[in-house]
Amino acid sequence: MNVLLAFDKFKGSATARQLNEAARQALEAIEGVSVSCVPVADGGDGTVDVLAAACQGQWVTVPTMGPLLQRAPVTASYFLCDDGTALIEVAAASGLALLPDDAHDVMHATTLGTGMLMRDAMERGSRNIVLGLGGSATCDAAMGILCALGAEFLDADGHHLYPSGESLEKIAHIETFGIPQTVRDCRFTLLTDVDNPLCGERGSARIYAPQKGASPEQVEQLERGMLHIADLVGDDIANRAGCGAAGGIPALMMHLLDCELQPGAPYVLEHNGFAEALDDADLVITGEGRMDSQSLMGKGPGRVIEMALAHGVPVKAVCGVIDAAFDPIAAGLADAVAVSDGLPHDMAMDTDGTLMRVAAAVTRMIQ
């Protein structure tokens, strides 16, 4: 039997590559089983690690700014491919995971550090940047990124605005004269793991800002800011699917730079050899930290299931937790198990324990 492993991360517990490797080692001990691994990501944190595994190049580590400038600077990494493509994640410099739980401050969080990573890549010759948007601590609609790349945001009195969500509704003018030609020559591919629009009930502010520390009053202020950005940009950007990702980063980037917005999971699976690996597979085993209805709406495992079934290959899933409302059979899965359901939080999030439970679960699926 040829088994294709295609795990996404168990967020906060184990990376996609760790999970695939643990499952591979377990299955290779079974006689008559051959195993191949294609780690999965969907544009969220962990995407660069997965894409880099399929590329030739080098990791670049540089000092930059975290999401809150009053805190200590951070050191962040991105991957520079030999062909000049830079693979960068918003989460690396502007991620929520960089802040302790009691320091979430979405009103003042900025993507400036992410822009500094992008600028560093351009200084090293990159003119093609792939940006994974998941995991941000911010809701600044890319103000920080664009400031790092040379733009200036002014209020009605001509004063410079600090690049954060608190400033969005105050923007009266965007000065782009300082954006150098190297930035204008760059091509940006924005990978999103959600399809939320910029504004409205499913928009960036109302859906994601509370997770980043916003009070109800701050959510409404951010929503006004996003509506103001939509007025500045036009082109019905308020309702475009995916523009609410990472605190609205696509909105201003697509307005000012050469950008393409793409769903992350199809992009990753197109570039990491999953389709080719399916040709020889008798069974696919996938999984993620939590499987629920969102898993089938643009997430990595959902795309894996869709592609595998289209090739006539059965799919099983090993997850941390499976939502009670999720129907594995209706999703097309031949089997699904949860390895961390009911465990205390510390035990469920322990990396070594997670990998051991996943290895045991995939073994039982095959035997």
Beta strands in the chain (DSSP E): 2-7, 34-37, 57-64, 74-81, 85-89, 128-132, 152-154, 173-175, 187-192, 258-263, 283-287, 290-291, 315-319, 321-322, 335-338
Q: Model pTM?
A: 0.91
Distance, in Å, from the CA atom of 356 to the CA atom of 332, rounded to the nearest integer, reads 26
Question: Residue for token digits 């073994």?
Answer: 363
Q: How big is the chain, counted in residues? A: 367
Sequence spans of domains, the chain: 2-40+285-366, 47-265
Contacts of 199 (CB under 8 A, 6+ apart): 205, 223, 226, 227, 230, 238, 239, 244
- Residue 72 reports pLDDT greater than 90: no
pLDDT tens digits, residue range 38-58? Answer: 999 988 888 999 999 889 999
The pLDDT-based confidence of 10 (bands split at 50, 70, 90) is very high
For residue 141, the model assigns a pLDDT of 96
Question: Cβ–Cβ contacts within 10 Å for residue 353, how many?
Answer: 17
What kind of fold does domain 47-265 have according to CATH? Glycerate kinase, domain 2 (3.90.1510)
Tell me what pLDDT residue 99 has: 94
Question: Domain 2-40+285-366 adopts which CATH fold?
Answer: Rossmann fold (3.40.50)
Give the pLDDT confidence of 190-230 residue by residue, as tens digits.
999 888 999 999 999 999 999 999 999 999 999 999 999 99
Q: What is the pLDDT of residue 296?
A: 77
pLDDT, tens digit (0-9, with 9 covering 90-100), for 89-132: 999 999 999 999 889 999 999 999 999 999 999 999 999 999 99
26 pLDDT tier (thresholds 50, 70, 90): very high
- Average pLDDT in the 259-265 region? 94
User: Residue 297 above 90 pLDDT?
Assistant: no
